[in-house]
A and B are shown apart, each in its own frame.
Chain A
Amino acid sequence: MKPAMRAVGIFLFALVAGCAELRKAPPSPIAQSEPQPSAPQVPEPQASEPQAAEPHVSEPQVLPPPVTTPPAAAAHAKAPPKVSVPSVAVQSQKNEKPVAVTKPLETPLDVAALQARLRDTKAIGVLTKLALKNQVDDLLKKFRAHYQSGQKTGVAALRQPYDMLVLKVLSLLQDTDPSLARTISASREAIWSILADREKFNSLT
């Protein structure tokens, strides 16, 4: 009986120890939530610098990368007393996001490069690329017909098919080539400005 009692005792002890381990888990969510208070620390310098710099709307998006590094360093300095590993992971994610936002803004629209990237991407199959090209050609034909007809009305009617086509491309790319999808999404208005302008359109095609 005694060995059986011992075994039961050991089993119960292991169970209690297991529960004790589970109760230790909550500190990690707290550690994950700790960066959240630090999150307001990041925007504060961002908000202050654009105000100090200029009232432009686009500049706050361009400024973050240089601004985000000092708060990250400051947060690193604050991190050691806390649990360091989760906070570093969250901060690295924060550092990545502003860089991804700034890239499309820094690069001007390069239609040829976009075409090449679309042609080379493996995210879209050959047949799908061909079908997309057919639809792009169809849309360009509509623009050409509109401009050749001599109508003085705008091309607003073609905006919806254009948006639909862009959405189709984005839906094809967003999972497998997100960077290209982001670039196209960021270039949407720039491409439209070319299509909607008769002279730019004629010079391009």
Chain B
Amino acid sequence: MIARTLAAALVIPFAALFAEPSPAADDVSLLKDLTSVIALLGLPCGQVVSAKRQADNDHLATCSNGNRYRVFVNAEGRVVAQKR
């Protein structure tokens, strides 16, 4: 009985850990995408370490150097990074 409880206590947290790998993968690809965009636009950033989605194609990116940019697609279809 104790063994079963112990096994359950070990298995459940591990299952919870590995249950949602895809959002993390999406986050990583989004961070890479934002990093590339900001670099492509010639803005100082380093790497994007976190991003907050504000709307479709509209993100608030925080860089490793502390800079924050709003990266979005404007009405003309251009990708813009505005420093915050």
Interface of A with B (CB < 8 Å)?
124-128, 130-132, 134-135, 168, 172
Report how far A172 CA is from B71 CA in the complex, Å.
18
Count A-B contacts at CB 8 Å. Answer: 40
Contact A127 B78 (CB under 8 A): no
**Chain A at the B interface: SS class:** helix
Interface hits, B19-44 → A, CB 8 Å: 29-30, 32-34, 36-37, 40-41
Interface size on B, residues (CB 8 A): 15
Q: Check: B11 CB closer than 8 A to any chain A CB.
A: no
Contact B40 A128 (CB under 8 A): yes
Q: Which of chain B's residues has its CB closest to A130's CB?
A: B79
Q: Which of chain B's residues has its CB closest to A172's CB?
A: B36
Contacts of B33 in A (CB 8 A): 124-128
Report how far A181 CA is from B41 CA in the complex, Å.
20
Q: Check: B5 CB closer than 8 A to any chain A CB.
A: no
A165 to chain B, nearest CB (A): 10
Contacts of A126 in B (CB 8 A): 33, 57
- Report which of B29, B30, B32, B79 forms a contact with A131, defined as CB distance below 8 A: B79
Contact A134 B29 (CB under 8 A): no
Contact A127 B29 (CB under 8 A): no
Q: Which of chain A's residues has its CB closest to B78's CB?
A: A134
Contact A135 B40 (CB under 8 A): yes
Q: Check: B77 CB closer than 8 A to any chain A CB.
A: yes
Contact B79 A127 (CB under 8 A): yes
Contact A127 B77 (CB under 8 A): no
Across the A-B interface, give the 5 residue pairs with the lowest CB-CB distance, nearest first.
A125-B33, A131-B79, A128-B36, A127-B37, A131-B40
Contact B29 A125 (CB under 8 A): yes
